[in-house]
Amino acid sequence: MLSSLSVYIAPLLVFGLVVFVHELGHFVAAKMCGVYAPVFSLGWGRRLFGWKRGETDYRVSLIPLGGYVRMASRDDDALSGIEGADAERGSLDTASGGADKVPGGLWDPQGMAPFGPKAVPADRWVESKSALARVFILSAGVIMNIVLTVTVLSGLHLNYGNRYVPAVIDSVVVDAPAARAGLQSGDRIVAIGGSPIKAWVEVQDRVTPVTSGSLAVEVQRGTERLSFSVTPQVAEGQDPITGAMKPVGRIGVLVRDSVVRESLSIGEAVVLGSSRTWKMATDVVTVLGGLVSGEVSAKNLGGPIQIARTSVQAARNGAEMLWSLIAFLSLNIAVLNLVPIPVLDGGQILMVVAERIKGSEFSMRTREAFARVGVLAVLALILLVTFNDLRSVFTQ
| CB 190, CB 159: distance < 8 Å | no
Q: Residues spanned by CATH 2.30.42.10 within the chain?
A: 163-261
pLDDT digits (tens, 9 = 90+) for 191-234: 999 999 999 999 999 999 998 999 999 999 999 999 999 999 99
Q: Report residue 10's pLDDT band, with 50, 70 and 90 as the boundaries.
A: confident
Evaluate if residue 295 carries a pLDDT over 60: yes
Alpha-carbon distance values, 141 to 4, 18, 148, 214, 324 (Å): 32, 10, 11, 46, 20
User: Of 213, 38, 237, 5, which is closest to residue 124 (Cα–Cα)?
Assistant: 38
The pLDDT assigned to 303 comes to: 65
The pLDDT assigned to 304 comes to: 63
Residues 210, 274: Cα–Cα separation, whole Å: 27
The long-range contacts involving 96-100, CB below 8 angstroms and separated by at least 24 positions, are none
Residues 291, 105: Cα–Cα separation, whole Å: 48
Identify any residues that bridge with 49 across adjacent strands, giving them in sequence order: 60
Residues 312, 300: Cα–Cα separation, whole Å: 19
Give the mean model confidence (pLDDT) for residues 315-325: 83
Give the mean model confidence (pLDDT) for residues 72-99: 52
The pLDDT assigned to 86 comes to: 44
| CB 45, CB 59: distance < 8 Å | no
Q: Report residue 96's pLDDT band, with 50, 70 and 90 as the boundaries.
A: very low
Give the mean model confidence (pLDDT) for residues 146-162: 95
DSSP category for residue 176 = S
Contacts of 48 (CB under 8 A, 6+ apart): 59, 60, 61, 62
Q: Report residue 43's pLDDT band, with 50, 70 and 90 as the boundaries.
A: confident
The pLDDT assigned to 62 comes to: 86
- Radius of gyration over every alpha carbon of the chain, rounded to an integer in angstroms: 26
| CB 249, CB 207: distance < 8 Å | yes
Residues 148, 225: Cα–Cα separation, whole Å: 42
- Fold classification of 163-261 is Pdz3 Domain (2.30.42)
The pLDDT assigned to 287 comes to: 82
Evaluate if residue 103 carries a pLDDT over 80: no
How crowded is residue 98: how many other Cβ atoms within 10 Å of its Cβ?
Answer: 14
The pLDDT assigned to 305 comes to: 65
Evaluate if residue 95 carries a pLDDT over 70: no
